[in-house]
Amino acid sequence: MQVAVEISLIPIGTSVSLSPYVARVQEVLERAGLDPEMHANGTNIEGDWERVMAAVRECHEAVHAMGVVRINTTLKINTRTDREQTLSETVMRARDRLA
Amino acid sequence: MQVAVEISLIPIGTSVSLSPYVARVQEVLERAGLDPEMHANGTNIEGDWERVMAAVRECHEAVHAMGVVRINTTLKINTRTDREQTLSETVMRARDRLA
Amino acid sequence: MQVAVEISLIPIGTSVSLSPYVARVQEVLERAGLDPEMHANGTNIEGDWERVMAAVRECHEAVHAMGVVRINTTLKINTRTDREQTLSETVMRARDRLA
Amino acid sequence: MQVAVEISLIPIGTSVSLSPYVARVQEVLERAGLDPEMHANGTNIEGDWERVMAAVRECHEAVHAMGVVRINTTLKINTRTDREQTLSETVMRARDRLA
């Protein structure tokens, strides 16, 4: 099963700056070969369910390894069975409609 | 790694009524032995990461098997490494403070 | 417009314990007369759009007033125009199906 | 109070295609002068709290006006009181760390 996911990982009980953790998540997802697309409210990835979820777990492990004892992540998970249209295509179609 | 999760599964392209899908998710999580706590905006479960995530995948598969071709799920994932306090304990502590 | 909302407010750059903030949110929502239902992953409220959103803003202001300089909230917002069925009714219908 | 928001609006009980609704949301946010940044899992906006929340309400009203009777939106709301750093700056800092 293919899945399109947005991961927004929030460390709890750390400093106010989030960029070290955002960078670490990006690094983990890149090493997992998931071609992550970082934006202001999270990071978008797509791929095989098991591979994507293993990478999400690795993100938690990597951020805990930085000394963060508590993490709250919001994950958006999109699956469809009718065809392989990606979420990026939805965005492109929306842009076409607006143009 | 233990995890506390909230799953909110939204079927796309179906009827307006969500209760058949909410019930199906509850059933899958109960059968997985995860003692799900259903509420107005999702279902809370806690347990071992792999077991919980396998159940989340089963929920997607079960709802797709009902004929739903597209699903959007929001998952909140909580992990902590300092101790095993559950989210229910956070709620109890908050109630104690208010009392 | 009526709205059913789940608020999950995460303070950033504080201690690991979340219960003081969960309690404060509960208090603000109670004082707003919104009959909040606190659970392990957030607090559910229902009511008039403007009244609910004003209360959400008050929650941010109250938690900032506790000394928290950065907040990340996830809000689920449900509206429907066909009838006034509440989310609690969806849960009851799901329970009926399972019984 | 300034706020950085991600809106992910899901229509319930419609067709499987989401792009008409994604486009409508984009249009509403553009007309509100909020300079929306559309991505695969939502749309990011920043601005004054009241102005942003009024635009979110307008998105619900506009999508209901398209004939959608039920909507589920996930909103991420970020506020900070220490300074005016935007979420885009967090992304830039994360990119700097990775470079």
Q: Give the 3-state DSSP-derived string for A30-81, with helices as H, strands as E and coil as C.
A: HHCCCCCEEECCEEEEEEEHHHHHHHHHHHHHHHHHCCCCEEEEEEEEEEEC
Q: What is the mean pLDDT of residues C87-92?
A: 85
| Burial of residue D9, with CB atoms counted within 10 A of its CB: 0-12 exposed, 13-18 middle, 19 or more buried | buried
pLDDT digits (tens, 9 = 90+) for B12-23: 999 899 999 999
CB D40 within 8 A of CB A91: yes
Q: Do A64 and B77 touch (CB under 8 A)?
A: no
Nearest in space to D34 (alpha carbons), one of D15, D9, D59 = D59
- Our measurement of the distance from residue C9's CA atom to the centroid of its chain's CA atoms, rounded to an integer in Å, reads 8
C86 band by pLDDT with thresholds 50, 70 and 90: confident
Indicate whether D89 pLDDT > 90: no
Q: How high is the pLDDT of residue B99?
A: 86
DSSP 8-state secondary structure symbol assigned to residue D6: E
Chains in contact with A, where contact requires at least 3 CB pairs less than 8 Å apart: B, C, D
Q: What is the mean pLDDT of residues B24-45?
A: 96
Q: What is the mean pLDDT of residues D64-84?
A: 95
Beta-bridged to residue C84, according to DSSP, are none
A89 band by pLDDT with thresholds 50, 70 and 90: confident
Q: Which of C64, C69, C80 shows the shortest C-beta gap to D69? A: C80
Q: What is the mean pLDDT of residues D80-98?
A: 86
Q: Which of A26, A78, A80 shows the shortest C-beta gap to D98? A: A26
Q: How high is the pLDDT of residue A90?
A: 86
Indicate whether B44 pLDDT > 90: yes
Q: How high is the pLDDT of residue B85?
A: 67
pLDDT digits (tens, 9 = 90+) for B74-95: 999 999 998 876 778 888 899 9
Indicate whether D85 pLDDT > 80: no
Q: How high is the pLDDT of residue C85?
A: 67
Which of residues A76 and B83 earns the better pLDDT score?
A: A76
Q: What is the mean pLDDT of residues B58-83?
A: 96
Minimal Cα–Cα distance from D5 to chain C, Å? 9
Q: Which of A57, A60, A77 shows the shortest C-beta gap to B75? A: A77
Q: How high is the pLDDT of residue D87?
A: 79
Q: How high is the pLDDT of residue A71?
A: 97
Indicate whether B11 pLDDT > 80: yes
CB C47 within 8 A of CB C1: no
Q: What is the mean pLDDT of residues A73-79?
A: 98
Total number of domains constituting chain A: 1
Q: Do A73 and B77 touch (CB under 8 A)?
A: yes
CB D63 within 8 A of CB D20: no
Residue at A32: amino acid letter: A
State chain C's mean pLDDT as an integer. 94
Q: What is the mean pLDDT of residues C72-97?
A: 89
In a 3-state reduction of DSSP, which class is residue C37?
strand
In a 3-state reduction of DSSP, which class is residue D61?
helix
Q: What percent of chain C has pLDDT over 70?
A: 99
Q: What is the mean pLDDT of residues D74-97?
A: 89
Determine the structural domain holding residue D39 and report its residue range: 2-98
State chain A's mean pLDDT as an integer. 94
Minimal Cα–Cα distance from A12 to chain C, Å? 6
Q: How high is the pLDDT of residue D84?
A: 78
State chain D's mean pLDDT as an integer. 94
Query: Residue D74 is part of a domain; what is its CATH number?
Result: 3.30.70.930
Minimal Cα–Cα distance from A19 to chain C, Å? 13
C39 band by pLDDT with thresholds 50, 70 and 90: very high
**Rg of chain B's alpha carbons, rounded to an integer?**
15
